[in-house]
Structure 1
Amino acid sequence: MNKIKCIVVDDEPLAISLLESYVQKIPFLELVFSTENPIEALDYIQKNESDLVFLDIQMPELTGINFMKILGDKLKYILTTAYSEYALEGYEHNIVDYLLKPISFERFYKSALKAQERFVINQNKENAYFFVKSSGQQHRINFEDILYVESIKDYVNIRTSEQEYIVLDTLKSMELQLPENSFVRIHKSFILNLYQIKNLGSKKVTLLSEQEIPIGESYRMNLLAKIK
């Protein structure tokens, strides 16, 4: 994966200097622009390629929340602020993490890792496959070969047309990594490949392989919407 192109926006020069130094210490991050003026940042983003914004919430010209409302999902955000009461509001938007000032490098690094994971997941969605670790080895799995994914306590079972892979992961994490246009959660314990459906009943799905998967009542409407 290429480096994540970062922008720092904060109305405090010392905060900018600190964040710049942190970004430069992390190999997979690349600082491309920093400014005390959020309007300048908006202008830069419209004209240049960038991926991630370290964004102060409380700024005089334009608040971080309004900044995100203007750009929407164009970029990902890590919010920075000295005021913890903004955390809940911030998480209503499309952000990776929330950093409370003063920010230690350890906390910053953890946040950067979250961003890296998010970008890797998005990159996987653009490919036709992903890699999973099972039985001590990395296995490449084509999305189209997956029949379903089943949750088994702290593991998931990725069942393909040929075999199954037991992976230390959560169903929620799998849901994020699989393409939204071809996979759907149909039960608290199952994610299904839509292209593997043969018959759809009121309480279960029959796959082309003749396997039957239960449908959770709370997931049924979403499944029907996906099929349509």
Structure 2
Amino acid sequence: MMKCILADDEPIARQILENYIKEIPNLELIASCKNAFEVIEVLQKQSPDILFLDINMPKLSGLSLLKTLQQKPAVIITTAYPEHAVVGFELAVTDYLLKPFSFERFLQAVYKVNTKNEATNTIIKEEKETPKTIFVKSDKKIIKLNTDHISHIEAYGNYIKIYTDRMILTPQTLTEFSEKLPECFLRIHKSFVVNFDKLKLIDGNQFVLQNEVKLPIGKSYRKQVIDKIDY
């Protein structure tokens, strides 16, 4: 279900849009606004998926409204004026409907939002599934590492030890290196960061990796370890 709001100063235009929205099962109208200021009030309280927006409205135009929004839903312009189309698309609107538009044309615009959302979700999924790589300096070499292969990292003075199928010593702090790692990595001790995907079991205050390496869980880190497990 996609939540949407509409903004148009003409009652008849609002009624047409409201009727069109009711015809589409996966659309839910959460606000019908008469001007841009009402839109701002709604956006301060809710996060709709689609904004159907007229351009020529009193005091603040639809395009002026878009320029003020840092974060905005998918925007479908609904207007009788074709001359603003270029500016509209420069503001990354999803579609530009010229009044009077048919239900079929309205449906095409909604379909574009669906298609865009599906493409975005696919990209996010692919990014999550793609193994991340990082580069570390060791001696005079620059080594490319797949983070999936890292079991844990250990602080070692002004260096850290990175454990994969071997140990790599690199000159940086544990905190600096941790900032480059994906979410599956967690600090469990002032001297250790682990790849949570490599967990075999927790034995008291010991974090046991799948390769049977046992690492201490610091007292101040225990809660976040338990929260990560979420059992």
List aligned pairs for 1:22-41, cutoff 5 A. Answer: 22-41=20-39
How far did 1:74 drift? 2.5
The equivalent of 2:120 in structure 1 is: 122
Contact 2:47–2:73 (Cα < 8 Å) also in 1: no
Contact 2:35–2:58 (Cα < 8 Å) also in 1: no
Distance 1:101 1:72 in 2: 27
How far did 1:143 drift? 4.5
Distance 1:75 1:143 in 2: 26
Rg larger in 1 or in 2? 2
Contact 1:73–1:94 (Cα < 8 Å) also in 2: no
Distance 1:54 1:7 in 2: 6
**SS of the residue 1:91 aligns to:** helix
Distance 2:103 2:23 in 1: 9
How far did 1:126 drift? 3.2
Distance 2:119 2:60 in 1: 31
- Ranges in structure 1 where 5+ consecutive residues have no aligned partner: 130-141, 146-180, 183-194, 196-228
How far did 1:59 drift? 0.8
- Aligned structure 1 segments of 4 or more residues deviating by more than 6 angstroms: none
Contact 1:55–1:78 (Cα < 8 Å) also in 2: yes
Contact 1:4–1:116 (Cα < 8 Å) also in 2: no
How far did 1:124 drift? 2.5
Distance 1:49 1:90 in 2: 21
TM-score by length of 1: 0.54
How far did 1:62 drift? 0.8
Is the aligned partner of 1:144 residue 2:142? no
Corresponding residue to 1:90 among 79, 88, 91: 88
Identity of aligned residues (%): 40
TM-score by length of 2: 0.54
- Ranges in structure 2 where 5+ consecutive residues have no aligned partner: 134-145, 147-231
The equivalent of 2:50 in structure 1 is: 52
How far did 1:92 drift? 0.6
**SS of the residue 1:72 aligns to:** coil
